[in-house]
Structure 1
Amino acid sequence: MEKKYPRLQIAKYVAADYFSAMVSWILFYTFRKKIIVAPLYDSVGQDLNDPTLIMGIVIIPLFWLLIYYLSGEYHNIYKKSRLQELGRTIFITTLGVIIIFFILILDDTIISYKNYYQSFLFLWGVHFSLTYLPRLIFTTRTIHKLHNHIIGFPTLIIGSDEQALQLYNDLQKKPKSAGNQIVGFVTINGGPKTPLSNHIPHLGNLNNLIETINNQKIEEVIIAIEPSEREKIQQILTKTKATNVMIKAIPDLLNILSGSVKMSSLFGVPLIELSHELMPAWQENVKRVMDVVLSSVALVVLSPFLLVLAIGVKLSSKGPVIYSHERVGRFGKLFNIYKFRSMYTDAEINGPALSSKNDPRVTPFGRMMRKMRFDELPQFYNVLKGDMSIVGPRPERQYYIQQIVDKAPYYLLLFKVRPGITSWGQVKFGYAENVEEMIERLNYDIIYLENMSIYIDLKIMIYTIKTIMEASGK
């Protein structure tokens, strides 16, 4: 089976979109100047040297790429349908042309108002045609490869008995594949010798589910368990929701599944597709753009203040200015978090320990920084790297995560999003001094996950600024 290259596929879409936007703008410029306001332009040479044309060739394509990115056009690049592509291209073309019309075209010198309609329709028609044609070609080729098993999505079946066997047989009988490459199955209670083991490899059980997903690079999981195993459904959902995989289930489980679901048909094999999008794709992209822009601005604008803090840390006690420690991020990925050091260098000589209200390990300067949250400012660099977001659940060390998961397994749900510099739990609860308080703060983070939106992020940022101004941090 041919290996997928998502970045290369995205690059094809980006290149085609850029070229289509550039050509459509040149054609529109020629139409606008030669057809609508021809008396004002009597030389082709003047048109080719027009700064407006040159600027448009550079800026307009970038504008369209930004629109496509923010709207999620480059999301799930291998799971597009031709009908979906058509609808989204019509909508985004209409939106973009309206923006261009009001910003650039509305002040044109015209003979009659009919020229406005002509300009709008010409730009819309040319841009849509040139954009949709290559997309249609790319999507058709991808669908052909999926149907013919040339490319696929490594898929794991959870279940091993009659339900799972029936699902496997149904998938194998279909003349056109949806791209599901079944690599194996995991059992709930049974051993490796099950009806399904005669067809595909047995890869373990629920206890090593996450390890199996990571090792096999699983992209989709299909839950096909027996009615007698339904008490395990919540455990399965908790484990799998903490991973970056699409989760589907056979329809018989619909009445016991929680959360948003939608039907998905694998060319005749109906499945329930569990929604994993905590935010719409466009909001997630806007959030990322906000993270990059705000972090860049913060690091530049605050650089003199960061230098003052660095000097204060250095003069207050011996040791490095920046404290770096390993944390667990999105989808369980490890990364190094950066802070201004607020404790003495031997603070954890006896092992990991959470800070407390009057912690003697905290330096006087560090205590001031913690009250104002200034020690977290270097994490804007983590945001730029993509390890963190400005708003999101606070990242924890693996040492404490295991203790939390033992008491509150739903903590794994936090791995669905990037950890943040500030969070709803941080604003409403603050620093936790023990595992019990970390679990209590977790409740606020779960509320955040259930209500994620750009509006909520902005609200949390405002509350964080208020906390800083009031110096009410711990």
Structure 2
Amino acid sequence: MSKRYSKYLPLSIFLSDLAVLNIAFYSAHYLVFNTVYMQFPSIAFLLLVNITWVIMSLFTKNFEVHRPLVLTNSINKFLVTLSYHLLFFFSIVYFAKIADISRAEVVFCYAIYIILMIFQRSLLFFLLDYFRKNGYNHREIMIIGDEKIGKRLIKSFSKHPEYGYDLLEFITDVQVSNLSEKALINKITSKRPDEIFLCYKHIEVELIGLFIAIGEENHIKIKVVSDLILENNHAKLLDYHNLPVIQLSSNPELSLKIRILKRSFDLLFSSAVMSAGLPVFAMLYVITKVTSKGPAFYKQERIGKNGKPFYIYKFRSMHVNAEQAGPQLSKDRDPRITKWGVIIRKTRLDELPQFWNVMKGEMSVVGPRPERQYFIEQIVERTPNYKKLLSLKPGITSIGQVHYGYAENIDEMCNRTRYDLLYLQNINLNADVSIILKTVKVMIQRKGK
């Protein structure tokens, strides 16, 4: 793929998505009715599916692929588009009172579509990566500025060949200061880069004006890499009437798309677990009840999103009145834990009632584990960044819980916080699914504390 063909890529992806959608539909129709012949309900379904997908796809622009190539970002964008599409589609079906559409056909259609689209996007990114590794669709770049920032950028580019960047030269800010304006211009234009990355902590207005002029005269893209952005993953660029302003938010907020997608996933996943797992819930209830004195369920006040307290639910794993001496963290061979409690804690089955907290909107399936105010005050003294986690709904499982397990002291709670802060910087559906799968692995291997 040469450079001149890359402008046709969005249109190609858009048409490919539409073709895959129709393949999924006809496959589903054949599976359900054992024929390709369609009657009115299926024809109406086909038209609605295509029209609503085109509208939502043009709205979200999920067919656009930007550098850097990140497969998870593309799949997440597709899933967001699919969520909007389904909402729009079912709204039309409901208000138009189209009741004859086969439910099985709908389920099979979208199940096949998701599978085919993940395969299609993976294949697309594999091909783009292949072409770029073979020298096609590359951009030759220069990096100018702070040596430390520049080296971090070079390291990032070296780890991701799919970006398609070839480094021509790295000119440090010290070298720039020793060059005359004419010599700097000649040095840049002789290399004829496609893009220049400016890496400055502080840059003079005259110098950035010079780089802009060089870019405009020689058709070179000028990109500014701010150390603030490299250090703070919650920085975002705001536009105040053509005046760019970097906002460093102390309370990062999730985008509307991520919030809708995450809440939809929470509801669907929790509903599936609570419905399919009803026999397991009943069994756990009975065993907990008969193996030790006291109620089967245990509730405790925890701190949720924005510092709002709520009651978390668990299957009781400790003896009644286990905290008469005050708040305590559990530990290995804790005498307060019942024999049955040891089993359900190691398999994390004691956490299952929290899916009801998720349904109520107090928790998410994946998110930082909620703590008690007593321990939060101690954590914040040592790790002030913990406050950032209160901007999210707490979760049944978390990356910190998977990698660190239950904490036995404040030091371990602070160490676990570091993992959860990493999750805060990279919230997406793929990360959530990955954490859920790792949690299942922990449950099967009985590695919970």
**TM-score of the aligned structures, taking structure 2 as reference length:** 0.50
